[in-house]
Amino acid sequence: MPTPPNKLAASFMTEPAMLNMIEPGKPRSERFDDIYSSSDNPMGESEHVFIDGNRLRQRWQVSPDHPRQFLIAELGFGTGLNFLLTARCWQQLEHRHPDWRHLHYVGYERFPIDKSALEEIHSAWRSSRSSNCADFDSLLEQLLANWRFLLQGIHRIRLTQDITLDLVIGDAAQYLGLRPPYSPAIDAWYLDGFSPRVNSELWQEALLKQLATHSDKHTSLATYSSAGRVRRGLQAAGFDVSRSEGWQHKRHMITASYPESLKRRQRETQSALVVGAGLAGCFTANALSARGFRVTLIDGGMDFGAGASGIPQLSLRLRLFNEANSMAQFYLQSYLFTLRWLIQLQQDTNFEWHACGIRQLTSAMNRRKPLNFEKLAHIYGDEVFTLEQGQSIWFRHGGWVNPVQLCQALTASAGIAPKFNSHIQRIEYNGSNWRCLDQNDKQLGIAENLVLASPPLVDQLSLVNAAKLEFTVGTSSRITTIPGVKLNSHVESGLRSVFPEQKQTQLISATYTRSRLNQALVTEASAENITALRTMLNLSANSPIECLENFERERANPADRLPMIGRLTEAAVPEAFRRGCEYLYINTGHGSSGLATCPMAGEIVAAQITGEDLPATSEQLELLSPARFWQRQHRGHKY
């Protein structure tokens, strides 16, 4: 039975594709008793049905109504062949109009193929080609490198500067139902599920009507099927349907267009102010710069990481939940997005991602809401982490970064202009731009969009109705290595997080004190860190541990312990900020999970600003929305 619309399954685990090879390069689904390709030339069939069926080459040579991305959605991602050939066509096409800025491809797949089988299939196809296709092979290598951790959810993968793949693992009807209502219309649909005869769910009339919901007058559709029920279902959904010449022995296929305009096209702005040069601000600036925006990055500190991002080592680990709900899925998607991001950044630059692994002991877990290891195993499986006899969790893909170096790498683009030692006193909208001004009314920056990624400023301006940020101070201590104590090569997280040695020193992180920054507390906090370390290592109270320096940083969390991400609404802001709030965004409140959530948050904000497809469901966006506190207050809920 399919998952009911808009309801998540009780586990993020996926069901296997269950295939066998009839012969090399010819997979057959045992689940559906059908083949993945009906042709001896699957590449030729894919190009004919989907690329030619949607007239992509012709459309990409003509200017769009304004500079934007081209959005394709495929139902039945399967082997990824349609995506790879489409991406190759995008790269190779001569005379592609420059106003087509980016190819965004969304592939829906409920039963992903095992990586080893996928490699075998493509290996057979490669060996059968008569010509060398280095560009295709390069795209395939990138796809295979990212073909892991395919738990249920939206997996955003940026393959090149101008090609993004969203792999949506799960039931297509469910996730289309969870697509945010203000998402852009799909430019081209690929319907490539198994035959309607054996896989009726993917061709049911209700699902075809969902396709219409996300279409407009620019939308085309193509499918290899010529079945009467498919044609009638598309017509009932409002599509104009045509029969076209099929591939080789197949007489017909279906192409279609949608006649109505829903006016949900991508927005035209080109500049942004981002306030806050920590991880949230720098990832947002990077995401906007990658989309061609001019970004001014403003911070009151003297350099990157003046706030919570200013410690020398910061770990990446996954916030876990005992229930497979929307927030658990958001944190999982975000963690995996960050992991892929850091690996790619290390390959592209001289940035160092230290993938040493993280062991989280039970003493590092929430005692008021303890994690249930049996539930965790059922929800997450064992690909992302390993449960160790009820005593600890081993994140074998985890690790640490230097957050200041990360911020520097993120903002190296010529399109990002950092401005430090700039203290904002007020913000105002002049009818077309947001302005940031200091205490002397000197303009610090001006742009069409404003993103606030600074918790103290959000708090100072009382920007969000009913939202209260709770601040905690964390003190991290750098100590000399301890004589006679064997050092771990991974991050050990218990009463404190103990990081691997760096230049004969170690970082111990961190205390949590509910207060604002207070230098008077540093000495006491440092002593607490050393006491906690002695307990973790079973050292005597008089064992010599020398503290070299302390890092006192302030973190912020909303009352519900979820970050605030996204566009503000008129009702959610004080009257002084309502004019222009369509161009006002927040990305803050990430607490101690910032490295895991800030990259995805930056993508969400950038996608909202540009009107692109979002890497999150409508339920997730509602839970993360800065307006949620005002909405809950008016519904009578405390949080």
**Average pLDDT estimate for 585-598:** 96
**Average pLDDT estimate for 298-321:** 92
Report the 10 Å Cβ neighbour count for 422.
Answer: 19
Give the pLDDT score at 265.
53
Provide the CB-side half-sphere exposure for 506 (13 A, CA): 24
The 3-class SS string of 385-408 reads: CEEECCCEEEECCCEEECHHHHHH
Last residue of one domain, picked from the residues 230, 257, 284: 257
Cα–Cα distance, 29 to 223 (Å, whole number):
19
pLDDT tens-place string over residues 454-479: 999 999 888 887 788 899 999 999 99
Q: Helix 134-145 vs helix 81-92: angle between axes, to the nearest 10 degrees?
A: 130
Give the pLDDT score at 530.
94
Which tokens in the block code for residue 34? 């059908």
Strand-pair partners of 158: 164
Last residue of one domain, picked from the residues 557, 577, 611: 557
CA distances from 566 to 60, 284, 453, 616 (A): 31, 11, 11, 11
Is 58 strand, coil or helix?
Answer: helix
Residue 113 and residue 201 in one domain: yes
Residue 112 and residue 216 in one domain: yes
Let me know if residue 489 belongs to a domain. yes
* Placement of tokens 């991880």 in the chain: 279
- Beta strands in 391-509, from DSSP E residues, in sequence order: 392-395, 399-401, 416-419, 426-429, 434-437, 443-447, 449-452, 469-480, 491-493, 497-498, 505-509
**Average pLDDT estimate for 517-534:** 89
Let me know if residue 336 belongs to a domain. no
Is 414 strand, coil or helix?
Answer: coil
Is 432 strand, coil or helix?
Answer: coil
* Placement of tokens 């050393």 in the chain: 530
**Average pLDDT estimate for 115-143:** 83
**Into how many domains does the chain fold?**
3
The CATH number covering residue 507 comes to: 3.30.70
Strand-pair partners of 565: 587
Range of the domain at 421: 271-312+402-468+560-635
Nearest to 369 by CA among 319, 435, 304: 319
The model carries a pTM of 0.94
* DSSP secondary structure string for all residues of 513-534: BSSS--GGGHHHHHHHHHHHHH
Interstrand relation of 188-191 and 220-223 (parallel, antiparallel or unpaired): parallel
Using pLDDT thresholds of 50, 70 and 90, give the confidence band for residue 61.
very high
Residue 409 and residue 548 in one domain: no
Last residue of one domain, picked from the residues 557, 572, 589: 557
**Average pLDDT estimate for 404-415:** 95
Residue 539 and residue 434 in one domain: no
Give the pLDDT score at 132.
57
